[in-house]
Amino acid sequence: MSPTTTPRTLLSTALGIALLAFMLFPVYWMVNVSLQGGSTAASSTFFPTDITLDGYRTAIQDQTGNLLTSIVVALGAVVVSLAVATPAAYALSRFRLRGMGIFLFALLLAQMIPGIVIANSLYTLFNDLGLLNSYPGLILANATHGIPFAILIMSAFMRSIPPALTEAARVDGASHFRAFWSIIVPVSKNSLITAGLFCFLFAWSDFMFGLTLTTGADIKPVTLGIYDYLQGNVQSWGPVMATAVLSSVPAIVLLVLAQRYIAAGAMGGAVK
């Protein structure tokens, strides 16, 4: 049911577009400057009149390895997060076990622990285990961004699945795992996608663990690639903005293609 179009509603639409344009100006600016290539620290023009891909050429030269690292780490974090979170969400939604309330409470608190606290301790732990500057280390650490969120959002969904669905299978002799794997997981597909998307975005955007748990140039996420540019006096903003655009592609693509999952996750993030 789309709202009726009257001059009044059209005025609201116009105002809404203006608000959006204002809020997204920095994103426009990022794209705009990225297309002005080598423009030195002199000011950028308002529109990219002389479009050049020099900025992207430099960015790809500098950052391809880092982008690949980010992809591997983010996908790894999604796999680890869902593997850990989905069964737990099922248990929380179905079983009544002692101590589950405490676990739920711990999950809520876990979401609130400042990342620097975790980084401080993980650095020393990973140093002992030889996990600094490694993919497994980054993947495991980045799963912290998503696991509590994924458990909470998926168990909220699974609670809405009628128990009769699994009970029938259980009566027929299916194990809990079977009921979980062949009934709950397919039925919960949408909430798994939402959780997975956010785990990906959280890990992809991670800065804290990339900053603290990697020290060399070999394994470095693209967020740290951007940070490296910002460390010194930036001489040329084209490549920096081109890298920023490349690092923003997943968020933009997912927001456009997977809008309803993103909207579901954004709501579920806090009001459970």
Closest CB to another protein among 3 and 173?
3
Closest CB to another protein among 168 and 177?
177
Alpha-carbon span 265 to 149, nearest angstrom: 9
φ, ψ for residue 115 (rounded to 5)?
A: -55, -30
Residues within window 130-149 making contact with another protein, judged by CB under 8 A:
140-141, 143-144, 147-148
> What is the per-residue binding string for another protein in 206-225, x denoting contact by CB under 8 A?
-xx--xx----------x--
Query: Closest distance between another protein and the C-beta of residue 35, in Å?
Result: 13
Residues within window 65-124 making contact with another protein, judged by CB under 8 A:
83-85, 87-88, 90-92, 95, 97-100, 102-103, 105-110, 112-124
Closest CB to another protein among 51 and 113?
113
Is 30 among the residues that bind another protein (CB under 8 A)?
yes
Query: Closest distance between another protein and the C-beta of residue 97, in Å?
Result: 6
- Candidate list 79, 165, 168, 267; residue touching another protein; CB under 8 A: 267
What single-letter amino acid sits at 97? Answer: L
Query: Closest distance between another protein and the C-beta of residue 164, in Å?
Result: 19
The three-state secondary structure class of 135 is: helix
- Candidate list 26, 101, 130, 163; residue touching another protein; CB under 8 A: 26
* Three-state secondary structure string covering 187-255: HCHHHHHHHHHHHHHHHHHCCHHHHHHCCCCCCCCHHHHHHHHHHCCCCEHHHHHHHHHHHHHHHHHHH
> What is the per-residue binding string for another protein in 187-206, x denoting contact by CB under 8 A?
--------------x--xx-
Closest CB to another protein among 99 and 216?
99
Nearest-5° angle of CA 197, CA 199, CA 202?
105
Torsion angle in degrees (nearest 10) through CA of 81, 82, 85, 87: -150
The three-state secondary structure class of 255 is: helix
Stretch of 23-31, 56-64, 159-167, 188-196 lying at the interface with another protein (CB under 8 A): 23-31
| Those residues with Cβ within 8 angstroms of residue 31's Cβ, 6 or more apart along the chain or in another chain | 241, 245
Query: Closest distance between another protein and the C-beta of residue 61, in Å?
Result: 18
The three-state secondary structure class of 40 is: strand
**CA-only gyration radius of the chain, Å:** 23
> What is the per-residue binding string for another protein in 223-262, x denoting contact by CB under 8 A?
x--xx-xx---x--x--xx-xxx-xx--xx-xx---x--x
Question: What would the two tokens of residue 42 be?
Answer: 């002199």
Query: Closest distance between another protein and the C-beta of residue 22, in Å?
Result: 10
Across the strands, what pairs with 237?
none
Alpha-carbon span 34 to 241, nearest angstrom: 5
DSSP E strands: which ranges in the chain? Answer: none
